[in-house]
């Protein structure tokens, strides 16, 4: 097990465009294993190689309970329908921003042996994939949102909102759900 240090947004490596992975041998396998160990040590749903300082196009995401490795990934299809959420990032601790992402996307990527596959991602998995793929182009969610909000302030706002509407029907996703750690990618 090897944990790597997750870089934070002041680090220049997070703002660079990553190069394609061309090696499908031990080095890439080791990187993917380390990304998995590092992610499992957090509450995040995905991690990109540049977040641990490796400027190569490799990410991992959680698709439900399953971990998916994506090398040289590209989004080949995205739904017009979008979902909004207060998103966070392991490289931007304590920060959130409201961001709309497509509800469904299809990613074309390689596995660690170099085999190409297509994966249809929905909901949080689609969000995680979009977020991690952005990292490969040096884009953080803070570059995309209108406003970056401190996490504790957001929690406070949403709690106050809840208190204002105590009888609100909970069928819809409540604002409180949006603030849970599952939005950290
Ligand atoms: Zn991130």
95-147 pLDDT, tens digit each: 999 999 999 999 999 999 999 999 999 999 999 999 999 999 999 999 999 99
Concerning whether 69 is annotated as a catalytic residue, the answer is: no
pLDDT category, 57, cuts 50, 70, 90?
very high
Which band of pLDDT confidence, cut at 50, 70 and 90, is reported for residue 184?
confident
Residues 6+ apart with CB under 8 A from 40: none
pTM score, two decimals? Answer: 0.88
Residue 167 has pLDDT above 50, yes or no: yes
DSSP state at residue 81:
-
Question: How far, in Å, from the CA of 91 to the mean position of ligand 1?
Answer: 6
CATH topology of domain 12-183: Peptide Deformylase (3.90.45)
Ligand 1 mean position, distance from CA 135 (Å): 7
Tokens found for residue 110: 């390689």
Distance from residue 147's CA to the centre of ligand 1 (Å): 16
């Amino acid at each position: 097990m090897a944990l790597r240090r997750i870089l934070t947004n002041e680090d220049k490596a997070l703002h660079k465009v990553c190069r394609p992975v061309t090696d499908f041998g031990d080095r890439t396998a080791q990187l993917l294993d380390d990304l998995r160990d590092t992610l499992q040590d957090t509450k995040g749903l995905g991690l990109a190689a540049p977040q641990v300082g490796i400027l190569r196009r490799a990410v991992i995401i959680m698709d439900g309970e399953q971990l998916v490795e994506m090398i040289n990934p590209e989004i080949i299809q995205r739904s017009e329908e979008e979902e909004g959420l207060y998103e966070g990032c392991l490289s931007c601790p304590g920060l959130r921003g409201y961001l709309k992402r497509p509800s469904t996307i299809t990613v074309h990527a390689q596995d660690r042996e170099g085999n190409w596959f297509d994966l249809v991602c929905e909901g949080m998995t689609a969000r995680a994939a979009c977020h991690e793929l952005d990292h490969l182009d040096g884009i953080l969610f803070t570059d995309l949102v209108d406003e970056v909000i401190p996490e504790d302030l957001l929690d406070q706002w949403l709690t106050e909102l809840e208190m204002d509407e105590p009888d609100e029907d909970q069928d819809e996703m409540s604002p409180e759900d949006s603030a849970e750690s599952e939005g950290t990618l």
